[in-house]
Structure 1
């Protein structure tokens, strides 16, 4: 198809469907809620780009799904641009200009167009310009990744974004391969500045050096300097242009936002994404920026070859629910064809239903917040101790987040700065297996407990940091063992292999569960699974073994019963309680003056690594929901249907019967 023919076809289509023009309001990312991402990471082997671009397929897709934005490929990790750049590198084989076609079609719907652009990771650009490269500890050049202080951003990244702004009027950029592609940079400029700032004589070369932590911290500062430089340069060139760096200020970069990015974003890939989305969403929700999460619309079998297993509508609805329930926007990722065209194998009907599912819940989810209940502390010092790189590693605490959610607990994740700002708001704060903390925050936590708060310390090493306050005597040192845990009161015993700290409770300390070496209630050891003791006006609980990894690989209801037993003793009247199903995830939220109880059906084989796709989930049982409330509500509605529900209100507790949850229901409490 010639360029002239393509332009003519677009014109004919627009004349045939005049209502396409300005069909929707063009939104900034802060006001956006639902979108699609497409990329394919162009390589030198990709030829005749644009050849098979079918405008009608794309127009039909956009007409039925009505996204707030679309993101497309411009340069992936291989470093080859998928548009005819005059600045960077491409395979230089274009039948048509695919970015021009995407831009014209999205313009016809008034849909913002963002580009996917690989940042620090650029195989072609760096290998062609070794002076741009990050330097390894042995002095060799890393020919895939850019140096933070090198000329890469000024010579390629910023000029190419400007080029696309000028030529295609793009609305924003989603910079990939950035914080999570970092590594220690031994470039002379970085090393010399580090030595000057620290006064050290030599730069640390490995983790055995006692100053290696300082070296990583310095690299983190240099990455943010690089990030700030290109963000500010692009904003100066095009005010209002929207920029995000993928996974910046997320679980992979757990810090306060201090660079002027316009929004935060990340992409959840692989399997078990219902849980991954829930964890990552909670890491972004309190960062004070507009944010969204992207779910891959497929499970990759061979990503580069395009061999995938598509996810079902149900899977994506469950993943979207986890994100929307905590106030975030949602987008779905599909690959483009190797010529950058839209893939017509995408299930348009399913994506239309997904869009409808999200839009129905948008009025209750967008810009909503969570009501403080249980906070998991994402310790910055603990993360630095366990993370041997600059950025890019998540956290082992994801398993504990899963455990709390499966126990029908409304839980948030607080980084250091969140804890500093919000500590006193939470009835319960959990230390999830970290053994290093900011000393000032640790002191404040103990004061929080003395004043009536509740602290739950979990993990074999974490409890050692609070030994004087737990009301127990430590026996030996923690070790990796196999044993059984539970009790008759917990209605069961189950095996576990994990790190364990043996303790014996002192007088006045209550216990939950016991360790067993035989599966027989008569042979409980003297060692408890968990303890609770008074501390000032509050309480401190300890759970003396690691559960995060165990729960992710060998989960058992006894784990949930132990944790919930501790929580019930720390906070007997939570903000919300769900009765009737063990497969409901609950989020207690607020939108303006109304309370919201988000109920997500977590059924399905997403936890099974042998299952790539499933199409059905079993509806939950009918539920009884108890909601703590200082005032009697005017009405309670089941959303998004708007159905009024009967309720009882006694002693500051709302009790309401809720019909089975298919996938995601919202209880709206109107005052």
Structure 2
């Protein structure tokens, strides 16, 4: 057996054993924390007084410092300021997931030219990487056996941080065709790595992409173990890993979830709900700026309140992006060329106002768990299938491809783009975003779960939504069938028919891909680009397409439950027509009402019902038997007209206890409500919801 093969075998065994302890031994200080911050620049030590003022004024629990230059860190250590003021020190490692050569020189060590040191390369031999940087390959011997372990061990020994926050740890796939990767792949799979996706080699691509994803996991494990050897109580956090982009069960070395979402509140909400549906504590980092990271244009206070509300309502921690800061911007408007002048006093004011807003709501948010009711599935296999297709895109001559962080890189004609962090350079595909929005805007209490969570707790839910979930594990399919047979309900759309659940959907297996179809929803006409022609076995046809007369919506009774199937990519169209979306088409709510009727048909006998305008978000959480109804007014980011406002928010919740007290928080206000056989009915004026209010239902 070769040395590389032995190394892979040993690490795989350790990974499997240690995975049994996933989620254990979280750092208590992180569990108890509430507000974190991430310094926007490498602030000089001369800024220390202003930095400390910003930390104190915003009551920050943990501060992330960049480790390129650590003079500020050393001065804080020398004066013992972290202990005196009461905040945790976090070492931020930039670009660690891509690790271009400059980042490896933190401890003034040079690795370039070392035997076994290899850059990632494309199939044609060109360097594979972000911007113009050369990314090192984690499978090259000098990297995995010496450079990575030594770097992180020495760094932690020197800095003694409470936490290491590793940026750009989001590359669930970054392809490399170097000799080490290709040789190791051939040893494991007995085949050559593919270089071009065809109809016949999809399974080979799955193996090739999984191989790189496994490399990424092993890199994280090596990092974690190296840090633990240096300082066992240091929390190791991988930015974005095992979050939306990597919907797998977190292994033992992942203790918390973390992600930076600069200013997209739609994606921020998706992340918050996914984090709030998990068993791990999480933090999210929206920036204080409204232009670019470390720019010169601060957000409004109202937008900051909205960002905070979305995070803390789901039990998360607010990580203040670009804070502490100073009066020099990294990049300035309009061309993002800097440095520019930043009003650091305005950023300080925003952080202080946001901190007060958050702390006023802390006792109703921390340590809460989502009340299970409905769920939407985010399958890893489906998510990664989008990535595989994107891995093979050939660029056009002089094409500028927008990258996920807002920068642009120029690609040469005919070069395969191996930077595929997200499908189509998005955080998540449109179908899942649309499903999220449709549930949100119809005021359904719901979680976003991965397949490993589905296996553990699907029976806790009444409804499961499967939005274009093309590929599912066999165990997942079996679990869903059992769920419906026992009385659960599912709503599946489009390509989910290919996952292998024709029997539970009441359809024949001879389905085919069809031409685009138009659906007519009163004033709203929509074209579904991806349509599947299906033939019913036991299912009832509820609605047909306007022109072809093919089944559009079917409903099947399976055991004690029901399965609804929509034969087109309806949720992608919802994303394109919702008031939160990037593409706004029309102003009618017919599609929302249509999906709302399908949801209501599955939850007609449910215990939770709401009526409000579509820009109102609800989240039902619980802690120690008490229930908290979070109501968030997100109209600041609603892009369509709001003339049809209902003006009121009505709720009906059936509890398993008779409440002792019901109050509107913060403020401990009385609220009008009625109780009938443990069912609470209440009505609130929408004007009372200044961004985020909580109905506290005490046991």
Q: Provide TM-score, normalisation by structure 1.
A: 0.80
Which secondary structure does the structure 1 equivalent of 2:681 belong to? strand
Task: Pick from 34, 54, 61 the counterpart of residue 47 of structure 2.
Answer: 54
Match of 2:195 in 1: 205
Deviation at 1:464, TM superposition (A): 7.8
Match of 1:16 in 2: none
Structure 2 gaps of 5+ residues are: 1-26, 105-109, 331-340, 392-419, 579-587
**In 2, Cα distance between the equivalents of 1:404 and 1:279?**
11
Residues 1:120 and 2:97 are matched in the alignment: yes
Match of 2:7 in 1: none
**In 2, Cα distance between the equivalents of 1:217 and 1:597?**
41
What are the Cα deviations for residues 73-130 of structure 1, in whole angstroms up to 9, with x where unaligned?
Answer: 22xxxxxx233xxxxxxxxxxxxx2333455554441211212212132334379726
Residues 1:501 and 2:532 are matched in the alignment: yes
Asked whether the equivalents of residues 120 and 182 of structure 1 are also in contact (C-alpha less than 8 Å), the reply is no
Match of 1:11 in 2: none
Which secondary structure does the structure 1 equivalent of 2:255 belong to? coil
Which secondary structure does the structure 2 equivalent of 1:265 belong to? strand
Match of 2:455 in 1: 420
Match of 1:553 in 2: 576
* More displaced 10-residue stretch of structure 1: 475-484 or 430-439: 475-484
**In 1, Cα distance between the equivalents of 2:357 and 2:544?**
45
Structure 1 gaps of 5+ residues are: 1-25, 43-48, 75-80, 84-96, 518-524, 609-615
Deviation at 1:348, TM superposition (A): 2.1
Residues 1:248 and 2:271 are matched in the alignment: no
1:319-468 aligned at under 5 Å gives the runs: 319-334=307-322, 336=325, 344-388=344-388, 392-393=422-423, 394-396=427-429, 397-459=432-494, 462=497, 465-468=500-503
Distance 1:505 1:223, change over 3 A: closer
**In 1, Cα distance between the equivalents of 2:598 and 2:329?**
56
Task: Pick from 101, 109, 112 the counterpart of residue 129 of structure 1.
Answer: 112
Asked whether the equivalents of residues 160 and 231 of structure 2 are also in contact (C-alpha less than 8 Å), the reply is no
Distance 1:165 1:570, change over 3 A: same
Asked whether the equivalents of residues 489 and 562 of structure 2 are also in contact (C-alpha less than 8 Å), the reply is yes
What are the Cα deviations for residues 197-243 of structure 1, in whole angstroms up to 9, with x where unaligned?
Answer: 22x14233333334121121122112111110111111111111111
Task: Pick from 182, 194, 197 the counterpart of residue 191 of structure 1.
Answer: 182
**In 1, Cα distance between the equivalents of 2:599 and 2:528?**
23
Distance 1:414 1:262, change over 3 A: closer
Asked whether the equivalents of residues 122 and 175 of structure 2 are also in contact (C-alpha less than 8 Å), the reply is yes
What are the Cα deviations for residues 506-536 of structure 1, in whole angstroms up to 9, with x where unaligned?
Answer: 887262x65446xxxxxxx745643322111
1:577-616 aligned at under 5 Å gives the runs: 577-605=609-637, 607=639
Residues 1:67 and 2:67 are matched in the alignment: no
* More displaced 10-residue stretch of structure 1: 236-245 or 386-395: 386-395
Match of 1:86 in 2: none
**In 1, Cα distance between the equivalents of 2:230 and 2:361?**
37
Task: Pick from 675, 680, 699 the counterpart of residue 649 of structure 1.
Answer: 675
Deviation at 1:606, TM superposition (A): 5.7
Distance 1:270 1:319, change over 3 A: closer
What are the Cα deviations for residues 154-209 of structure 1, in whole angstroms up to 9, with x where unaligned?
Answer: 665555555554554432111012233741233433333322222x1423333333
Distance 1:451 1:181, change over 3 A: closer
**In 1, Cα distance between the equivalents of 2:246 and 2:503?**
32
Match of 2:690 in 1: 662
What value does the CA root-mean-square deviation take over the aligned residues?
A: 3.2
Which secondary structure does the structure 2 equivalent of 1:455 belong to? strand
Which secondary structure does the structure 2 equivalent of 1:317 belong to? helix
* More displaced 10-residue stretch of structure 1: 631-640 or 534-543: 631-640
Which secondary structure does the structure 2 equivalent of 1:282 belong to? helix
1:467-546 aligned at under 5 Å gives the runs: 467-471=502-506, 477-479=512-514, 481=516, 483-486=518-521, 492-502=523-533, 509=540, 511=542, 515-516=545-546, 526-527=549-550, 529-546=552-569
1:103-252 aligned at under 5 Å gives the runs: 104=79, 105-118=81-94, 119-125=96-102, 129=112, 131-142=117-128, 144-150=134-140, 151-152=142-143, 159-180=150-171, 182-198=173-189, 200-208=190-198, 209=201, 210-252=203-245
Asked whether the equivalents of residues 538 and 556 of structure 2 are also in contact (C-alpha less than 8 Å), the reply is no
Residues 1:563 and 2:595 are matched in the alignment: yes
Higher strand proportion (structure 1 or 2): 1
Residues 1:311 and 2:342 are matched in the alignment: no
**In 1, Cα distance between the equivalents of 2:119 and 2:87?**
37
Match of 2:336 in 1: none
**In 1, Cα distance between the equivalents of 2:193 and 2:511?**
38
**In 2, Cα distance between the equivalents of 1:350 and 1:635?**
34
What are the Cα deviations for residues 524-554 of structure 1, in whole angstroms up to 9, with x where unaligned?
Answer: x745643322111100011222133322322
**In 1, Cα distance between the equivalents of 2:648 and 2:569?**
34
**In 2, Cα distance between the equivalents of 1:408 and 1:137?**
48
Task: Pick from 274, 291, 297 the counterpart of residue 288 of structure 2.
Answer: 297
What are the Cα deviations for residues 412-465 of structure 1, in whole angstroms up to 9, with x where unaligned?
Answer: 111110011111111001111121111221122112111111111122554784
Asked whether the equivalents of residues 485 and 514 of structure 1 are also in contact (C-alpha less than 8 Å), the reply is no
Between Structure 1 and Structure 2, how many residues are aligned? 594
Residues 1:267 and 2:296 are matched in the alignment: no
Distance 1:504 1:559, change over 3 A: farther
Q: Provide TM-score, normalisation by structure 2.
A: 0.77
Distance 1:207 1:537, change over 3 A: same
**In 1, Cα distance between the equivalents of 2:644 and 2:526?**
28
Which secondary structure does the structure 1 equivalent of 2:134 belong to? strand
Distance 1:343 1:206, change over 3 A: farther
* More displaced 10-residue stretch of structure 1: 131-140 or 377-386: 131-140
Asked whether the equivalents of residues 433 and 460 of structure 1 are also in contact (C-alpha less than 8 Å), the reply is yes
